[in-house]
């Protein structure tokens, strides 16, 4: 996997000397706000305005996927345009090759590689080149490449642009959402990567055991609760969904998260199908990009780059979750 060092492209390994996967911190942490005032980090000057921002994503990446879902859920599709990278992430990292169905090329600047967007923002950047990227056309720079913060910007800052709509991070649930997000992020969202990229048995088992402990905890929680926070869909559900959508297709086999399949967990499988069947998920979930990216890009895991044809899963089957509304 490549990265920029002083604005120059180089390659490096994903694991430390102990064989454990290390996820890098996001390097651009500004915030779009309703009036352009500074947010919790970074600098001010990024006011929520229609047409001002551009979102760079991969349809394969779960972190970018959550930003796409939030964009749709908050009615921002007509106000924030999007470029989709090619699913293959090889020696040049993410590219704007548009030869794969659904890849759009760089609709804003016509660049060949996503790293050029980072260099356009900071010529001497030292950073991983990741998606999503929220770009400010007015100031010609990156606002943020931190998905968790981008979805909160979409939820909180753009009421004057698209209307308020249901809150994904409502004030009365924030305290309850935070520990759920934290556990799911560490052991599941990132846990699948820690399992898949581990290069020692010890590192693998240290990741996969808590991963399935969290899945068991979620199965129990969702057996009696329609969504993670009860009757309302929140950001916690969408942060979980984008990992669940990839679980049986990729993480079970490719990342060796194979103690159980998602479809073997009745509550979680029904919950995942219900979320998929909502328009903000269905329109942004692309299994062809998902399967191609992981199996073709990770040569250390799949050296022959064979993309499996399965599994055959019926995401449109009735989910039966309505019964919990009256429970």
- Catalytic residue from among 61, 204, 251, 294: 61
Q: Note if 263 is an active site residue.
A: no
What is the crossing angle of helices 287-297 and 235-246, to 10°?
Answer: 60
Gap between the Cα atoms of 37 and 309, Å rounded: 49
Gap between the Cα atoms of 194 and 20, Å rounded: 7
Lookup: tokens for 207: 């990741």
| Contact between 12 and 3 (Cβ < 8 Å) | yes
DSSP 25: P
Largest CA distance in the chain: 57
Helices (H), 257-298: 266-276, 279-282, 287-297
Q: How many residues does the chain have?
A: 327
Gap between the Cα atoms of 86 and 83, Å rounded: 10
H or E segment to which residue 133 belongs: strand 133-136
- Catalytic residue from among 53, 56, 118, 193: 193
Which residue, among 39, 52, 235, 67, has the nearest Cα to 160 in the 3D structure? Answer: 52
- Label each residue of 63-75 as H, E or C: HHHHHHHHHHHCC
Which residue, among 197, 201, 211, 200, has the nearest Cα to 298 in the 3D structure? Answer: 197
Q: Note if 294 is an active site residue.
A: no
Gap between the Cα atoms of 145 and 142, Å rounded: 8
> Catalytic positions, please?
61, 193
């Amino acid at each position: 996997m490549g990265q920029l060092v002083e604005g120059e492209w180089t390659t490096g390994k994903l694991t430390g000397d102990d064989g454990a996967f290390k996820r890098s911190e996001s390097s651009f942490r500004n915030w779009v706000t309703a009036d352009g005032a500074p947010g919790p980090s970074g600098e001010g000057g990024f006011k929520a305005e229609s047409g001002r921002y551009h979102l760079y994503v991969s349809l394969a990446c779960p972190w970018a996927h959550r930003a796409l879902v939030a964009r749709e859920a908050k009615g921002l599709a007509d106000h924030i345009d999007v470029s989709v990278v090619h699913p293959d992430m090889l020696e040049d990292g993410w590219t704007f090759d548009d030869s794969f169905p659904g890849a759009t090329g760089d609709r804003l600047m016509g660049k060949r590689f996503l790293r050029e967007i980072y260099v356009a923002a900071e010529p001497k950047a030292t950073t991983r080149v990741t998606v999503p990227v929220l770009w400010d056309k007015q100031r010609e720079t990156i606002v943020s490449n931190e998905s968790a913060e981008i979805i909160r910007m979409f939820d909180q800052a753009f009421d004057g642009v698209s209307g308020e709509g249901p809150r994904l991070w409502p004030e009365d649930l924030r305290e309850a959402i935070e520990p759920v997000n934290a556990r799911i992020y560490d052991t599941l969202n990132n846990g699948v990567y820690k399992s898949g990229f581990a290069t020692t048995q010890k590192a693998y088992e240290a990741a996969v055991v808590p991963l399935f402990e969290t899945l068991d905890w979620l199965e129990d929680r969702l057996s009696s609760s329609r969504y993670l926070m009860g009757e309302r869909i929140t950001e916690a559900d969408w942060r979980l969904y984008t990992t669940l959508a990839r679980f049986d297709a990729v993480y079970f086999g490719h990342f060796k998260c194979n103690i159980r399949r998602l479809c073997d967990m009745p509550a979680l499988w029904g919950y995942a199908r219900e979320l998929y069947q909502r328009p903000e998920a269905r329109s942004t979930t692309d299994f062809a990009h998902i399967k191609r990216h992981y199996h073709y890009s990770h040569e250390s895991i799949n050296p022959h780059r064979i993309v499996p044809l399965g599994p055959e899963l019926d995401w449109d089957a009735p989910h039966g979750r309505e019964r919990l509304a009256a429970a």
